[in-house]
């Protein structure tokens, strides 16, 4: 598999905005809509897919970097007003996610972008295994549950859930997990994974925390909590440092629109969010 940065024609230290700009330029050239009358449109389409995959892979790796705490910081560095602020922050995570490009293709092999498939397949994880190759392998690597005293029934069901998760059939995984009477640490871990993929992120986080509480030494569990929580720290920091979120508490508001000064009172907007004091 090609280096995604090469596909987009940018350096690995390119900022997020530079990546987006490069993608847009290539997309304008190779997008199917732009090649309707092109005799080579099949090649253009192939090239477009390649470009799309490269972009998605870079974005996902950078997101993983920020969430996983690999990033050296977002709002903190090179705050050049609004313009460069966010772009710089995100870009910090380049190269820190282990540079394992080869796994990137899996999400897109299916070419299936439909809702039912697992809408959060692009949930920024791309398989928990892609973390510095430290033996996590696939999302649910060690299904031998080393060190746990699980009975046969439990092991069998957990394995089944893990298989469903790897096959991206998250609701089926949940269904299997819900048949289990016992909820050991791995039950919480797999539930967290499946729930996250289904978009139940609040549930996922609380389940991941429960897994850690039960097995504080398990790095895989700890990692999951870090990823689920890590996104929130990055989000809050950016809001505070670049978008004035932290000073919202100092402003006195009567109604939302006053912060906006977009008072369109004369229409009497039926109370639909457009009112003024």
Query: Considering the complex, what minimum distance in angstroms separates the CB of residue 259 from another protein?
Result: 5
Contact window for another protein (CB under 8 A) among 39-47, 158-166, 180-188, 229-237 = 229-237
Helix (H) / strand (E) containing 192? helix 185-197
The nearer residue to another protein, 4 or 121, going by C-beta atoms, is: 121
Question: Per rule CB under 8 A, is residue 202 in the interface with another protein?
Answer: yes
For residue 20, the Cα-to-chain-centroid distance in whole angstroms is 17
Q: Is 220 in the site for another protein (CB under 8 A)?
A: no
Q: Mark the segment that binds another protein (CB under 8 A) among 39-47, 98-106, 142-150, 202-210.
A: 202-210
| Smallest distance from another protein to CB 157, Å | 21
| Cα 82 from chain centroid (whole Å) | 24
* Closer Cβ to another protein, 103 or 154, answer by number: 103
Class of residue 87 by CB neighbours under 10 A (exposed 0-12, middle 13-18, buried 19+): middle
Residue with smaller CB distance to another protein, 133 or 264: 264
Q: Which is nearer to another protein, 114 or 149 (CB)?
A: 114
Q: Does 238 bind another protein (CB under 8 A)?
A: yes
117: which residues sit within 8 A by CB, 6+ positions away?
110, 168
How many whole angstroms separate alpha carbon 41 and alpha carbon 31?
Answer: 9
d(CA 277, CA 260): 12
What is the C-alpha separation between 199 and 119, in angstroms, rounded?
Answer: 8
Report the nearest approach of another protein to the CB of residue 172 (Å).
16
Whether the Cβ atoms of residue 145 and residue 158 lie closer than 8 Å to each other: yes
Residues in 168-197 at the binding interface with another protein, rule: CB under 8 A: 195
Segment contacting another protein by CB under 8 A, of 96-104, 111-119, 140-148, 167-175: 111-119
Contact 226, 70 (CB under 8 A): no
């Amino acid at each position: 598999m090609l280096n995604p940065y090469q596909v987009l024609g940018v350096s690995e230290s390119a900022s997020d905005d530079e990546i987006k700009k490069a993608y847009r330029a290539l997309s304008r050239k190779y997008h199917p809509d732009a090649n309707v009358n092109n005799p080579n449109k099949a090649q253009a389409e192939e090239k477009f897919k390649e470009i799309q995959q490269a972009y998605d892979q870079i974005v996902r790796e950078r997101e993983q970097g920020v969430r996983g705490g690999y990033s050296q910081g977002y709002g903190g560095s090179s705050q050049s007003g609004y313009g460069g602020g966010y772009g710089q922050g995100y870009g910090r995570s380049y190269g820190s996610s282990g540079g394992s490009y080869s796994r990137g293709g899996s999400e897109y092999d299916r070419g299936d972008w439909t809702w039912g498939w697992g809408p959060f397949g692009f949930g920024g994880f791309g398989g928990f295994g892609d973390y510095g190759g430290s033996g996590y392998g696939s999302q649910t690597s060690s299904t031998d549950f080393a060190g746990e005293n699980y009975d046969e029934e439990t092991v069998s069901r957990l394995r089944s859930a893990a298989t469903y998760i790897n096959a991206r059939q998250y609701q089926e995984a949940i269904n299997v997990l819900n048949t289990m009477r016992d909820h050991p640490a791995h039950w919480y871990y797999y539930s967290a994974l499946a729930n996250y993929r289904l978009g139940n992120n609040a549930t996922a986080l609380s389940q991941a925390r429960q897994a850690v509480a039960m097995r504080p030494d398990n790095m895989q569990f700890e990692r999951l909590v870090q990823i689920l929580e890590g996104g929130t720290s990055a989000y809050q920091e950016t809001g505070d440092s670049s978008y004035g979120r932290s000073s919202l508490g100092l402003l006195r508001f009567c109604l939302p629109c006053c912060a906006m000064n977009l008072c369109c009172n004369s229409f009497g907007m039926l109370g639909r969010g457009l009112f003024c004091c």
